[in-house]
């Protein structure tokens, strides 16, 4: 399998072109419904004659006009050479139709797990493409394949191996659940006379995190005023929770040795445990300042990342969502997901404080 560095040959375009804006909305909706019925969303899709569309390109229309013009001249002046040239050009055009279809037919697509993305940034979606190369004709591969989401810039695969990964960008997404929709797969190979394309809906769903914005960290806890809130929720050496692995120090108990890693020839490593220090602390939306709800969520997202970097144990109170105190990457992802998918409620109870939270509650 090879990972291709696809070249972005088309600038970012967040608006439809003039001819797309000229199409009535009712026609667009009817076309979308027809595509959904004919090409339903699937996790794995292989292109076939049912899903490939072919039409002449602008250059192809000029080519066809040249064929008609040469044939008329040849018949009018009874010139067999000109007639033969027009028939030759027609046969080339017909051959391009076949090769345009073969260039996309048999191409399979399935979506891979996209990386973490934040609102406002470019969100890359890796797509696995599996070719239909034949053992007898190894030089028969898929070439000049373009992929793009609707109204987004495209990536081009100039030459595809048996398996290749293309990263299709989605520019400036908003926070929350993102379904980028269909991927348009197109190609003008081999001579640009015909344009073959298809629409691939891989049923992609991704969570876009709120864009972090630096702010002061305000933690709530059931502690006295004389206690420092930043001393609570931190980790100290203990025996409660598994924290990770570290280098083995001679003289340590052999019970702490990670024998599984030692059997994998990773060297002598010791298991490290930790336990929370002090009372639990909470991040709350009510204690986060901002001019609007979006800025509050952005600052709350930054606080989650900052506390996670410090390996500090904390919980999150976000409307009716409660995520219990914990630490680690999984906890950070859970908090960021809750922030990203948060919808502003009509009112938030100001009396909802950490003291009213059930310690055994799960994230809702």
Domain boundaries along the sequence of the chain? 2-206, 210-233+278-364, 241-276
The Cα–Cα gap between 127 and 110 comes to: 6
User: E strands within 219-260?
Assistant: 234-247
Q: Look at the block and give the residue holding tokens 């990773």.
A: 266
pLDDT in tens, 67-90: 999 999 999 888 899 999 999 999
Distance from C-alpha of 4 to C-alpha of 14, rounded to nearest angstrom:
25
**Which one, of 334, 327, 294, 291, lies nearest residue 309 by Cα?**
327
Ramachandran region of residue 223, left (φ > 0), alpha (ψ -120 to 50) or beta? beta
Strand order in the sheet with 176-178: 117-118, 206-209, 176-178
Token digits of residue 258: 């990670």
Does the pTM surpass 0.75? The reply is no
Q: In which residue ranges of the chain is pLDDT below 50? A: 1-14, 136-137, 222-240, 276, 278, 344-364
List of residues 6+ apart from 101 with CB closer than 8 A:
49, 52, 54, 196
CA distances from 186 to 131, 177, 261 (A): 15, 27, 48
Sole residue written with tokens 């269909």:
182
The conformation of residue 105, written as its DSSP 8-state character, comes to T
Q: What is the pLDDT of residue 153?
A: 87
Cα dihedral 172/108/144/121 (nearest 10): 10
> Contact 295/272 with Cβ under 8 angstroms?
no
Query: What distances in angstroms separate CA 258 from CA 118, 254, 296, one per listed residue?
Result: 36, 9, 43
At residue 243, the pLDDT reads 54
Kindly tell me the burial class for residue 319, based on how many C-beta atoms sit within 10 Å of its own C-beta (0-12, 13-18, 19 or more).
Answer: middle
DSSP designation for 324: E
Instruction: Provide the pLDDT for residue 138.
Output: 55
**What is the C-alpha to C-alpha distance for residues 315 and 299, in angstroms, rounded to an integer?**
16
Q: For 9-25, write each residue's pLDDT tens digit.
A: 333 344 566 666 677 78
Report d(CA 41, CA 275) in Å as an integer.
46
Q: Which residue has the tokens 């024998």?
A: 259
pLDDT of residue 358: 37
Nearest alpha-carbon partner for 242 in 200, 211, 271: 271
User: What ranges make up the beta strands (E) of the chain?
Assistant: 2-3, 44-46, 53-56, 108-111, 117-118, 123-130, 143-149, 155-159, 163-170, 176-178, 183-187, 194-200, 206-209, 234-247, 269-277, 282-284, 314-318, 321-326
Measure the CA–CA gap between 90 and 84, rounded to whole angstroms. Answer: 10
């Amino acid at each position: 399998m090879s990972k291709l560095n696809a070249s972005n040959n088309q600038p970012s375009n967040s608006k439809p072109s003039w001819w797309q804006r000229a199409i009535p909305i009712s026609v667009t909706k009817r076309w979308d419904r027809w595509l959904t019925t004919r090409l339903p969303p699937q996790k794995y899709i292989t292109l076939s004659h049912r899903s490939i569309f072919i039409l002449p390109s602008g250059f192809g229309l000029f080519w066809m006009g040249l064929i008609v013009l040469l044939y008329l001249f040849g018949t009018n002046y009874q010139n067999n050479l000109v007639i033969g040239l027009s028939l030759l050009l027609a046969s080339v055009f017909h051959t391009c139709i076949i090769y345009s279809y073969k260039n996309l037919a048999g191409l399979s697509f399935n979506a891979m797990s996209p990386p973490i993305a934040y609102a406002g940034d470019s969100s890359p979606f890796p797509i696995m493409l599996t070719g239909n190369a034949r053992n007898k004709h190894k030089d028969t591969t898929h070439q000049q394949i373009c992929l793009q989401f609707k109204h987004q810039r495209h990536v081009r695969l100039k030459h595809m191996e048996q398996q290749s990964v293309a990263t299709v960008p989605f520019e400036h997404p908003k926070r929350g659940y993102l379904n980028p929709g269909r991927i348009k797969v197109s190609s003008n190979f081999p001579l640009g006379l015909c344009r073959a394309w298809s629409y691939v809906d891989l049923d992609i769903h991704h969570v876009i995190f709120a864009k972090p914005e630096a702010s002061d960290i305000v933690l709530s806890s059931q502690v006295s005023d004389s206690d420092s809130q930043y001393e609570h929720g931190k980790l100290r050496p203990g025996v409660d929770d598994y924290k990770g692995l570290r280098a083995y120090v001679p003289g340590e108990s052999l019970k702490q040795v990670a024998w599984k890693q030692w059997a994998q020839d990773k060297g002598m490593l010791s298991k490290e445990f930790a336990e929370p220090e002090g009372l639990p602390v909470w991040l709350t939306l009510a204690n986060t300042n901002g001019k609007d709800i979006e800025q509050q969520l952005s600052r709350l997202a930054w606080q989650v990342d900052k506390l996670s970097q410090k390996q500090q144990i904390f919980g999150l109170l976000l409307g009716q969502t409660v995520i219990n105190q914990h630490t680690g990457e999984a906890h950070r992802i859970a908090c960021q997901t809750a922030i990203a998918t948060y919808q502003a409620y009509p009112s938030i109870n100001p009396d909802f404080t950490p003291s009213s939270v059930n310690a055994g509650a799960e994230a809702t």
